């Protein structure tokens, strides 16, 4: 991950997280009609390494589905690998900056 240090903050895409998970930090939250949450990515890897922005884990696993859309596939792979590396480094421990996002259950 050290090769990606100093990446300037820029909007590179978005990450979709199921509604039972929540991301905080430099992610810009947008609610989606399907009950999930869409997060625009506006961050640098130094933010990630400082754990200002991190995945909320459940059972030590990466929330699925996770999509990182970028301007091109190379950029997408860089960011996806970096995000996953940070998630793995946390080893299932939740930073205090993360909170469970609670949604009202849909009643039919």
Does residue 80 surpass a pLDDT of 50? Answer: yes
Does residue 77 surpass a pLDDT of 50? Answer: yes
Residue 30's φ and ψ, nearest 5 degrees, are -135, 125
Provide mean pLDDT across the span 87-101: 39
Q: How many CA within 13 A on the CB side of residue 80?
A: 18
Q: How many CA within 13 A on the CB side of residue 90?
A: 26
pLDDT per position as a tens digit, 37-61: 444 444 444 444 433 333 333 333 4
Q: How many CA within 13 A on the CB side of residue 59?
A: 4
Residue 84's pLDDT band, with cuts at 50, 70 and 90, is: low
Provide mean pLDDT across the span 75-93: 51
CA distances 101 to 49, 66, 71, 85, Å, are 22, 17, 29, 23
What is the model's pTM? 0.25
Domain ranges of the chain: 2-90
Mean pLDDT score of the chain: 41
**pLDDT of res. 43:** 40
């Amino acid at each position: 991950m050290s090769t990606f240090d100093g990446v300037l903050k820029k909007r590179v895409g978005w990450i979709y997280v199921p509604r039972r998970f929540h991301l905080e930090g430099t992610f810009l939250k947008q609610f989606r009609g399907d009950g999930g949450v869409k997060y625009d990515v506006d961050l640098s890897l130094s933010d990630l390494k400082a754990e200002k922005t991190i995945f909320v884990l459940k059972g030590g696993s990466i929330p699925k589905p996770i999509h990182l859309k970028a301007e091109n596939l190379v950029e997408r792979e860089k960011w996806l690998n970096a995000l996953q590396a940070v998630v793995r480094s946390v080893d299932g421990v939740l930073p205090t900056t993360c909170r469970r996002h609670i949604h009202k259950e849909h009643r039919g």
